[in-house]
Amino acid sequence: MNNSPIGVYDSGFGGLSVWRELRRALPCESLIYLGDGKNCPYGSLPAESIRMLAETAVRDLIGRGCKMVVVACNTATAAAISHLREVFQSIPIVGLEPAVKPACKMTKSRVVGVIATERSLQGEKFLSTLERYGQGVEVIKAVGRGWVEAVEQNQEHTEQCREMVSAVVEPIIKRGADVIVLGCTHYPFLKDVICEVVGEREVAVIDSGAAVEKRVESLLDEYDLRAEDSNEARYEFVSYADEQYCERLRAKASESLLR
Ligand code: DGL
């Protein structure tokens, strides 16, 4: 048993789509959410810069007493997860990867779309998963350009955002995809808009939130790290941007629980 918090880290607001799964499924666990904010978006940064940012963030969360850290960012996972596990061996570090495996199992049309950041689509783990499970499946890779910025600016429901989403999603569907993988933790905030674009067509839109939550649970058990049933969970939000950003982060977290 261990009542210390779990750290959840992302470049900005996106990791809240994982945070909300953890909060719902693990009501006794305290969570410290670190949304960098200052250096967001990470998507097109060089891998080395992302590694340095991620190392600073995870060190920070460990310094705040976290018993486990979830890197709730596909981009940071792709660029830095092995490095982080090597540097910080005292706690379990959970990473995120696009849900390619379930998508390739689910598809009937044998065409799958994966939308992620540039850096995530170049990730070694992503490419090896694709190699392993994507045999006989056409996997269409696309970058959600401007999507992270739209979520960061709370612009999800503007016409401009809808057009931006449609420009990526429509060609994927036209090529016959029946599963679309959201390979960036910001993108679930755009799920309503994506589903609007999908309309009546039979296309599943999936992300990794629930799978990561399950992984966290199994690691809590494996390392005997679960909080006591009597623990009153605390939720803290920190950022490297200004106080106003942190306020918006808290508001976005509350909003995420309504979805
Ligand atoms: N949420 C990050 C991810 O999952 C955001 C990427 C970014 O900052 O560009 O990839």
pLDDT tens profile 225-235: 999 999 999 99
- Ligand 1 pocket residue status of 73, Cβ below 6 Å: yes
- Quick one: pLDDT band at residue 224, thresholds 50, 70, 90? very high
Classified by CATH at the fold level, domain 6-96+209-256 comes out as Rossmann fold (3.40.50)
Sign (positive/negative) of CA torsion 154, 158, 163, 166?
positive
Tokens 């792709």 label which residue?
78
For the structural domain made of 100-206, what CATH number should be given?
Answer: 3.40.50.1860
CA of 149 to the centre of ligand 1 (A): 10
Distance linking the first and last C-alpha atoms of the chain? 31
Do residues 65 and 5 make contact, with C-beta atoms less than 8 angstroms apart? yes
Q: What digits encode the pLDDT tens for the residues 104-118?
A: 999 999 999 999 999
Q: What digits encode the pLDDT tens for the residues 76-128?
A: 999 999 999 999 999 999 999 899 999 999 999 999 999 999 999 998 889 99
pTM: 0.96
- Ligand 1 pocket residue status of 75, Cβ below 6 Å: yes
Question: What angle, rounded to 10 degrees, do the helices at 16-25 and 209-222 form?
Answer: 50
- Ligand 1 pocket residue status of 3, Cβ below 6 Å: no
- Ligand 1 pocket residue status of 187, Cβ below 6 Å: no
User: Hey, where are the domains in the chain?
Assistant: 6-96+209-256, 100-206
Domains 6-96+209-256 and 100-206 in one fold: yes
Alpha carbons 131 and 201: distance in angstroms, whole number: 28
Question: Considering only CA atoms, which residue is closest to atom 2 of ligand 1?
Answer: 73
Q: Which residues are catalytic?
A: 73, 184
- Ligand 1 pocket residue status of 37, Cβ below 6 Å: no
Whether 130 shows a pLDDT value over 80: the answer reads yes
Question: Considering only CA atoms, which residue is closest to atom 9 of ligand 1?
Answer: 43
In degrees and rounded to multiples of 5, residue 133 shows phi and psi of: -105, -10
Give the Cβ contact number of residue 23 at 10 Å: 20
Closest approach atom of ligand 1 to CA 120: 10
